[in-house]
Amino acid sequence: MADIAKLFKGQIDHVFASPPGAPLPDSPLPEVAFIGRSNVGKSSLINALISQKKLARTSKTPGATKNIHFYNLMDTLMIVDLPGYGYAKMSKTESAEIAQHVVNFLANRPQLKVVCVLVDSRHGFKDSDKEMVRQLAEFGLPSIIVMTKSDKLKEKQLKPVARHVAADMEMLTGPLHEALFTSSEKGFGMEKLRQLVYDATLGMTNEITN
């Protein structure tokens, strides 16, 4: 546990932003990527996970993240913020270029160990999320399902949503565990998510270099 706290609260560098068509960084570090529909809260979750307010750019308007961003945690783990999918107002050409860039990354990245698929707690799985989980399984990538913005639901609304989500997950192959409900705004679920990410990326080597 001590090592996890050290990793997620230590030195963080934004090392690389890769726009569509550009190369990806050459790095030996294990990676965890965050994916999900546009505006689901990927960049906010990354900030909460690494205890930063504004390192990853967030926005009320969907389509905020257009490049693939790499964050180096203590030369030990790379966090990758991916552009969202399903944003209808972006031009077809631009969204196709972004989607292609993301698929290239997912399909050709041996150091990528796990992908967190973010789903809005209020809406549950959309077809595009199910498709993403299936695609990740096809690429041989394990996924962690993270429900976001759970502060927007009342306590009594959480149970039926959790049941629906659990039923949807039974139909999907690949996810590592039951869905984890989180709130970046209130900090719910962050310790658990840090543990899951750590286990899936560094669990075998258990090394923190500095």
Ligand X SMILES: Nc1nc2c(ncn2[C@@H]2O[C@H](COP(=O)(O)OP(=O)(O)OP(=O)(O)O)[C@@H](O)[C@H]2O)c(=O)[nH]1
Q: How far is the CB of 187 from ligand X (least distance, A)?
A: 9
**E strands within the chain?**
12-18, 31-36, 68-73, 77-81, 112-120, 143-148, 180-181
| Cβ nearer to Mg ion, comparing 39 with 76 | 39
Q: How far is the CB of 210 from ligand X (least distance, A)?
A: 29
Cα–Cα distance measured from residue 67 to residue 209, given in angstroms and rounded to the nearest whole number: 28
Q: Is 60 in the site for ligand X (CB under 6 A)?
A: yes
Question: Which of residues 39, 76, 143, 201 is near ligand X by CB under 6 A?
Answer: 39
| Cβ nearer to Mg ion, comparing 30 with 84 | 84
Count other C-beta atoms under 10 Å from residue 108's C-beta.
10
111 alpha carbon, distance to own chain's centre: 15
137-176 residues near ligand X, rule: CB under 6 A: 148-149, 151-152
Q: Is 64 in the site for Mg ion (CB under 5 A)?
A: yes
- Closest residue by beta carbon to ligand X: 84
Cα–Cα distance measured from residue 115 to residue 113, given in angstroms and rounded to the nearest whole number: 7
94: which 2 tokens?
Answer: 């631009």
Q: What one-character DSSP code corresponds to residue 19?
A: -
140-169 residues near Mg ion, rule: CB under 5 A: none
| Cβ nearer to Mg ion, comparing 80 with 165 | 80
By C-alpha distance, which of 56, 60, 32 is closest to 46? 56
Which of helix, strand or coil describes residue 170? helix
Q: Is 101 in the site for ligand X (CB under 6 A)?
A: no
59 binds, among Mg ion, ligand X, none (CB under 5 to 8 A by kind): ligand X
Cα–Cα distance measured from residue 103 to residue 94, given in angstroms and rounded to the nearest whole number: 14
132, burial (CB in 10 Å: exposed 0-12, middle 13-18, buried 19+): buried
Q: How far is the CB of 43 from Mg ion (least distance, A)?
A: 3
Question: Which of residues 65, 148, 182, 183 is near Mg ion by CB under 5 A?
Answer: 65
Rounded to 10 deg, the angle between the 190-201 and 2-9 helix axes is: 100
72 binds, among ligand X, Mg ion, none (CB under 5 to 8 A by kind): none
What residues make contact with ligand X under the rule CB under 6 A?
Answer: 36, 38-44, 58-60, 62-65, 83-84, 148-149, 151-152, 183-185
What residues make contact with Mg ion under the rule CB under 5 A?
Answer: 42-43, 64-65
